[in-house]
Amino acid sequence: MRDRETIIQALTEPGIVAVVRAGRPLAVEPLVEALLAGGVVAIEITLTTPGALEALAVAVRGFAPRALMGAGSVVNAAQGKAALAAGAEFLVSPILRPELVPLAHGAGRPVMLGAYTPTEAQAAHEAGADFVKIFPADGLGARYLKAIRGPLPHLRLVPTGGVDLTTLADFVRAGCPAVGVGSSLISAERLERADWVGLTELAGRYVAAMREARAGRMARAGSGSGVG
């Protein structure tokens, strides 16, 4: 079993967390296989998806340790316990729920708490969250996250919502160690068509974009220019 620090490292390399939210039960095995083939290893199944816990358990049994399977949309301790029992290696909440921290850490798992404001983000950090999920990030943008990290550079912010191939590099330049990518990667239409080949190709593009953005950020840092 991977320890918490190993899981944290896996969440940040390559730093793409695929957020799976579906309106009906998932064909989880081909979905996970397609994402892995594209280089995305961190996969979050939201508990709002019908049969989410069953899908999570199937994925853990079939793909560990190649895939890093987590549970998203966890809004209370009961859901957190159920997700951990199903094998979740990380928990993600869209809201600030400090009670999830001792629950996850007690099981040796990292947790990402949701926040929207700087005060909420700092409160999540002080509660012990390993990452702070900024959600929804589409109305805020990378400049907002960069502004938060100005006075609060210790925060590990992970934007979800509004992350796509055109905005990913901006979030990396803002100092985000990872991003959550939902419908721009795993759309309802793609799931409906079972377009696994297309999903693999798109996942590969996200991984390549993340690596390119990080390389560019390091190059700018090495040249002494600011991050913009």
The set of catalytic residues is 44, 133
Helix (H, G, I), strand (E, B) or coil at 164: coil
Position of tokens 């990667």?
185
Q: What is the C-alpha R_g of the chain?
A: 16
CB within 8 A of 26, min separation 6: which ones?
Answer: 20, 45, 49, 51, 55, 191
Residue 35: other Cβ atoms inside 10 A:
28
Beta carbons of 68 and 41 less than 8 angstroms apart: yes
Beta carbons of 126 and 133 less than 8 angstroms apart: no
Q: What is the DSSP secondary-structure string of 176-209? A: -S-EEE-TTTS-HHHHHHT-HHHHHHHHHHHHHH
Beta carbons of 130 and 107 less than 8 angstroms apart: no
d(CA 105, CA 87): 14
